[in-house]
Amino acid sequence: MLFSGLDVPTLISRLLILFVSLSVHEFAHAWAADRFGDPTPRMAGRLTLNPLAHLDPLGSLMLLVGRFGWAKPVPVNPYALQRHSRAALMWVSLAGPLSNFLLAVLTAIPFRLHLVSLNDAFAAASGILPSLSGLLLEFIVINLSLMLFNLIPLAPLDGEKIAEYFFPPAWRRVLEQIRPYGPLILLLLVISGSFLGFNVFGLILGAPMQLLLRLLILG
């Protein structure tokens, strides 16, 4: 079964985290675009923290079972943004992953101040509710996962637009050529981990994830 590896406290934790983290991520995109003079997100009803405006069924399911996922993309008008600044689209794209990083940093504060124990976070939950330390640790891990996953330079992830801004012209042309195939490539990478036992995302994101967790929680 799809959820056979997840206990009830973990499912409850991820549902709570899903509502908060994906909503803040997409709101950050909408807010940044609005600040750069693009009214498109506001007109589409995306300048809100209401999860119902942002959540995507498949992306939410992936977050529940795999600790990474996605929400409905915030519509933006690149031409309106470019009239303000060439870097505007890059900043709008970066706003989402940056918001997840800030959420992770804030949530790590209780661990750094020893208000909650990391050992308690790994203890088995009693009942159906997660422990506070377990919930906070899961919140940090998922937000770091969302940040790192979205920084991968493949369309339709945020990292593609960020990379496009910094890459030299020859590399930008490569991004343009593979852009139509980005979703298919991502799907194949997901399948490789789920069905073939070769977790590409784990290989790519595992080391930076461990480094960030140590920095945020242990110092």
52, 110, 120, 123 from 114: Cα distances, Å: 35, 6, 12, 17
SS (H, E, C) 2-30: CCCCCCHHHHHHHHHHHHHHHHHHHHHHH
The number of CA neighbours under 13 Å toward the Cβ of 144 is: 24
The answer to whether residue 26 is catalytic is yes
CA dist 145 and 143 (Å) reads 5
**From 26, 138, 160, 164, active-site residue:** 26
- Please name which of 78, 72, 85, 63 lies closest in space to residue 16, comparing C-alpha atoms: 63
What residues act catalytically?
26
